[in-house]
Amino acid sequence: MANFLKDKSVLVTGGTGSIGSALVQKLRQKNCKVIRVFSNDENGLYNLSETIKEDKDVSFQQKMKKNKIRFILGDVRELNRCLDATKNIDIVIHAAALKHVPICEFNPKEAYRTNFIGTKNLIAASKKNKVKKFLFISTDKVVKPISVMGKTKKIAESLVIKSNSKSNTNFSCIRFGNIIGSRGSVLPKFINQIKKNKNLSITDSKMERYFLTIDRAVSNIILSIDIMLGGEIFIIGDLPNFKILDLALVLKQYYEKQIGYRKKIIFTGIRSGERNYERLYSSDEHKNLFKYKNLIIINDNINIKDVKKKYKQNLKVQSTQYSKKIASKKFIKEYLIKNNLV
């Protein structure tokens, strides 16, 4: 694939999070004209800046200039700051969000302000500043959402797709499952409990989730930006679906051999806004899917002639195709070891 990012100006919102910071590191390899890292996490911006090594001591400003990177402190809730951040930008990757279901359940207005109003502000700023491409990082929790997090991301996703109307900016989305090993996710939680010799806590024995690595997330974000026409919802195909109980059992057995861990698995009950499974697309969406490489593409909102010309083939799937693919414990163990997660 040609380096379409060369000499492009790219803005990454939520640039200090797990996905955002990994994206920034990948973009630094692409010879961009400039990378703007937009975050309301001052300490996160500083820590990210410290990952950029120099042969000699240079000032913060010199480091940014030399590495074609800018660390922008601000919040997507503020339209004026979004206007500043998107000025002279070619590509926006919108990863900023409130993502933890229990936190969003307890703070619904704040979730709405960040996930929806923040996205609305960034869309308006991108249109005004004539950004060429805008990719919204969505989640499988938008499919038939029951949580505040899922509902706020769903209306934001819908707004992004509708924004293609009467706009020179191309707006698309990409949906993820859970990023395995990311901050606040279940894998580091389990490993932390094991290292502290505590019981492994699971909300429900039937809980299952789609997982992907940060590297796979980043590579598919970049692929989606490259091929997007505007109006697509990209979904990464063939994501492994783990039962969380199986993940806990694999870790328990692995660390029993490694460090003699022998604590119990306990069940704490499903939390507000949580359900036992997620789906990558709804039964309404599965009727018009296209496939490109390992991406599944929902195409309801773009010109069908352009889609057929671009993606060549229609993907025939059943709405329940992904509901029955549960990874084995053997697969989970091999997956963790292969990706250096244990």
CA 187 to each of CA 57, 100, 212: distance values in angstroms, whole numbers, following the listed order: 37, 15, 12
pTM surpassing 0.85?
A: yes
Please report which helix (H) or strand (E) contains residue 292, including its range: strand 289-292
Task: Provide the 3-class DSSP secondary structure of residue 116.
Answer: helix
Q: What is the pLDDT along the chain (342 residues), one digit of tens a residue?
A: 568 999 999 999 999 999 999 999 999 999 999 999 999 999 999 999 999 877 667 888 888 898 999 999 999 999 999 999 999 999 999 999 999 999 999 999 999 999 999 999 999 999 999 999 999 999 999 999 999 999 999 999 999 999 998 889 999 999 988 999 888 889 999 999 999 999 999 999 999 999 999 999 999 999 999 999 899 999 988 889 999 999 999 999 999 999 999 999 999 999 999 999 888 888 788 777 787 888 888 876 555 566 666 666 555 555 444 445 799 999 999 999 999 999
Catalytic residues: 141
Both tokens of residue 174? 């990409």
Region for 32 from its dihedrals, namely left if φ exceeds 0, alpha if ψ lies in -120 to 50, beta otherwise: beta
pLDDT for the residue 60: 86
List of E strands, 95-157: 133-139
Region for 293 from its dihedrals, namely left if φ exceeds 0, alpha if ψ lies in -120 to 50, beta otherwise: left
Indicate the residue type of 262. R
Straight-line distance from the first to the last Cα atom of the chain, in angstroms, rounded to the nearest whole number: 32
Walk me through the domains of the chain, giving residue ranges and CATH numbers: 9-176+212-238+282-319 (3.40.50.720)
Please name which of 18, 342, 6 lies closest in space to residue 179, comparing C-alpha atoms: 18
